[in-house]
A and B are shown apart, each in its own frame.
Chain A
């Protein structure tokens, strides 16, 4: 059971470069989301999707794009990396976003922007 798979695990970028963090889930979950984790800030929602073809902004969407062409995949794109985007990124999924549903997280992607 793979669950939520994120790649890459670690990445170093130069300011201004672009990259895509990949996320895939094999649980046929409709709801997927991306969070960033920073010390003292907890987990902050970047973008989320309630199904294929549907995405929306979370708390901190600036500088990031997402798309959801299939139920399984939800990539996060950094358009022009900035040092402020140095963080740990978590992809998550759940059957739906409602009371009682468990959110399953990937193991994280550590991103450093220099």
Chain B
């Protein structure tokens, strides 16, 4: 049972365009929703995160939009650059559960 569903599996965007990756979750006990970025041959690294009491969080060109009632959240990358080409994972956790659950990942390729 996949508790965090992520789409699309892969995404190709032109340089300067907007990249959008969506995630949906089932467990209403989740209380923290991070996004991780992974470059080839490296481990994932935290990109940005949001708590469910906030509908949007922005850090530079990266924005998380959160819809608590729909149990969905998304990552928007504005002005996408070739250096953003990587795999992105959404994740969810609840503090008392000790388990961070990851989505299946989205491979983003930004064309120059």
Seen from chain A, the residues whose Cβ lies within 8 Å of a Cβ on chain B are: 4, 31, 33, 35, 40-45, 48, 50, 56, 58-59, 90, 92, 97-100, 102-103, 105-108
Q: Are A45 and B100 in contact (CB under 8 A)?
A: yes
Binding site for A on B (CB under 8 A): 6, 9, 31-32, 34, 36, 41-46, 49, 51, 89, 93, 95, 98-105
Number of A-B contacts (CB under 8 A): 63
Residues of A contacting B32 in the complex (Cβ-Cβ under 8 angstroms): 98-100
B93 in contact with A97 (CB, 8 Å):
yes
Whether B51 pairs with A43 at a CB distance below 8 angstroms is: no
In angstroms, Cα B103 to Cα A103, docked, is: 15
B99's closest neighbor in chain A, by CB? A45
Query: Are A99 and B98 in contact, CB atoms less than 8 angstroms apart?
Result: no
Contact B102–A43 (Cβ < 8 Å): yes
- Tell me which of A42, A59, A102, A108 contacts B89 (CB under 8 A): A42
Known: A48-B98, A58-B99, A103-B100. A90 touches B44 (CB 8 A): yes
Complex CA distance for A10 and B46, rounded to whole angstroms: 24
Q: B70 to chain A: closest CB distance in Å?
A: 21
